[in-house]
Amino acid sequence: MTAITTSVFELFKIGPGPSSSHTIGPMKAGYNFNKSIENIQLSTKPTSIEIRLYGSLSATGKGHGTDRAVIAGLLGFKPDNVECDFIDGLADGKDRQFKSGEITLPLSIKNVVYAEIKNDFPYSNTMLIRLKDGENILFEQEYYSIGGGFIKWKGEIPTLTRAPAYKYSNMEELKALLIENDMRLHQIILENEMAITDSTEQEIMDKLDDILDVMKKAVNKGLATEGLLPGTIGLHRKAKDLITSTPKGYKDPSNFLIRLNAYAFAASEENAAGHIVVTAPTSGSAGVIPAVIYAMEEDADMTREKVREGMLAAAAVGFIAKHNASIAGAEVGCQGEVGVASSMAAALITYAAGFKFWRTENAAETALEHHLGMTCDPVGGYVQIPCIERNAMGAVKAYNAFLIATVENIKFHKVTLDEAVKAMAETGKDMSSKYKETSEGGLAVSVPDC
């Protein structure tokens, strides 16, 4: 199996909610298309652009804001530099000016076509972006949104990434490296990040601080905001009510759990509102890790240095899940989003608290194991019900997995993280497509129309 070469900052990305696969991925695809045709030579002058959405991009794209995201990308914006108000403004359907090289065309969300949900493309979440002259297709690019804001496209020439300092493809190989080199987990992930991105240790730490600060900003903003979330459901925010119901305190278990829930609700509600969050590993699961980080720093007084080390441990778990299964709800259901986020968060807490590596792996495995089979069935196509509460439950499960791992006997832990990831991949393959972000089953059809 090929070695993992993903950067920490490909896994943790800053961008607008509510969905990395439905918002960040399509925006990156639109931006890529804009840049790829700057010097294109066409025999006929194009008169329009057509964007065709497939899979769950079509099924739930309106609720996720996919139409606005891909248009923003085509207009030259990237997830890390776009203003949320600008994206929201695209909902008016008015023409904006698309420009790439010598090509200038009117463009709006009316150019988006919601095509077949079931399809034969290599990836369910596929986008076709076309330059057309009338009904004639002059140029077409096929994009795939594969989860976590990652995209691929047909005919893509893989970028030659720099080789990692320590090559591994799963947890078993990573553990062997730790033993062989007498290194700690965060050191190997840090050395790999330096090698892959040609960055200094200080540059990486500064970027981690930026990521952590954005996560905590999302929590703070969510805790201070009341009212209804966007969309037809009419869902009220709960984070502020939760946080004001209990005093700050780490020693009282009930108070701490309520606050942990509040932090997860806060970041998830910001994501549902389309505001800036961090994919961790996706936007749909962007409340789990920020919740535990906020609790660790604000309630447990953990140092930023320890939290950074925990983030690198969490990244290792996310890399392995993505490399050997998927982090996309459209591919494996919510087990790949909130389940992986909870697993990463459990590893983060355990490692940052100073426990040995095997306890970190066991915590990650326990958290993931108890999300296996979780469907992705958003009501109304919005990342609200059950997504927001699932983030809170994922944060609580992560903390519980940490507690179990810190007291268990290593001889009695039977399941490895690699085995849990394999089970997740197999479960995802067997899961009906109606439970994978299409809103065709589960809660999406059982809950009365909001």
The domains located in the chain, with CATH, are: 19-153 (3.30.1330.90), 171-446 (1.10.4100)
Q: Cis link prior to 106 (omega < 30° from 0)?
A: no
Please list the pLDDT of the chain residue by residue as tens digits (450 residues): 799 999 999 999 999 999 889 999 999 999 999 999 999 999 899 999 999 999 999 998 988 899 999 999 999 999 988 988 899 899 999 999 999 999 999 999 999 999 999 999 999 899 999 999 999 999 999 999 998 889 999 998 877 678 999 999 999 999 999 999 999 999 999 999 999 999 999 999 999 999 999 999 999 999 999 999 999 999 999 999 999 988 766 567 788 999 999 999 999 999 999 999 999 999 999 999 999 999 999 999 999 999 999 999 999 999 999 999 999 999 999 999 999 999 999 999 999 999 989 999 999 999 999 999 999 999 999 999 999 999 999 999 999 999 999 999 988 999 999 999 999 999 999 999 999 989 999 999 998 655
